[in-house]
Amino acid sequence: MATAARRSVLLHPAAKPLLFVLALLPFAWLFYGAVANQLGANPAEYLIRATGDWTLRFLCLTLAVTPLRVVTSQPALVRFRRMLGLFTYFYACLHLSGYALFDMGLDFADIAKDIAKRPFILVGFAGFLLLTPLAATSFNRAIRALGASRWQALHRAVYVIAGLAILHFFWMRAGKNDFAEVAVYAAILAVLLGWRLWRRLRGAAARPVSAPAARPASGR
């Protein structure tokens, strides 16, 4: 009975609009804080750091959908994965834009030099570049155009993106020798990606091995 009730909530027409509003709340708070001058002594740095944090949080939420769907036997959860993935990209765009505007003054020549010079910027930018085709192909038309197998292969890049995101965060915090928050995100992503690897290996082990085809009898 409880499972049916949860399914009805997840399938309710208002569920997606509600998730959309909830996912926009961090942006709304940051926008209000910037306008009302409530982001501390260095609002530019606060905005860059906060949008980076929210990118990681939405990446974790996106990757958590499939394990939760399997563990709770709620296939309806999958209908929220696309939106969460797109909000991951949205906050990543804000994070990159904040860096380009507030740190670099939109000087694209200096941005290119900074990306090449500082490894943690390079790693973060590489993650953003890999995330872009995933966001661009998250729609049904793109899935049909690519085909299911090629689409799935492309979207496995999320594993690399997760690793780059943690490395970017680690190097960014290395200057202050503050790794507590990095460890939390790394542990969450390790569990989520490890679960996928475990499922893949278990599926491969359970797959029956085909017997070799019998060779035709020799005429000699």
**pLDDT tens sequence across 94-135:** 999 999 999 999 999 999 999 999 999 999 999 999 999 999
51-59 average pLDDT score: 96
Tell whether 84 is covered by a domain: yes
pLDDT of residue 210: 55
Q: What is the pLDDT of residues 159-176, one digit of tens each?
A: 999 999 999 999 988 877
Concatenate the DSSP letters of all residues of the chain into one string.
Answer: -HHHHHHHHHTSTTHHHHHHHHHHHHHHHHHHHHHTT-S-S-HHHHHHHHHHHHHHHHHHHHHHHHHHHHHHT-GGGGGGHHHHHHHHHHHHHHHHHHIIIIITTT-HHHHHHHHHH-HHHHHHHHHHHHHHHHHHT-SHHHHHHH-HHHHHHHHTHHHHHHHHHHHHHHHHHHTTT--HHHHHHHHHHHHHHHHHHHHHHHHHHHSPPPPPPPPPPP--
Confidence check: pLDDT of 49 > 90: yes
What's the mean per-residue pLDDT of the chain? 90
Query: The domain containing residue 68 runs over which residues?
Result: 16-201
Quote the pTM value: 0.89
Flag whether 5 is in a domain.
no
Q: What is the pLDDT at residue 204?
A: 73
Total number of domains in the chain: 1
| Residue 3 placed within a domain | no
What digits encode the pLDDT tens for the residues 172-218? Answer: 888 777 889 999 999 999 999 899 888 888 877 766 655 555 544 44
**Is 63 domain-assigned?**
yes
Q: Is 50 inside a domain boundary?
A: yes
- Residue 146 in any domain: the answer is yes
Domain-embedded: residue 78: yes
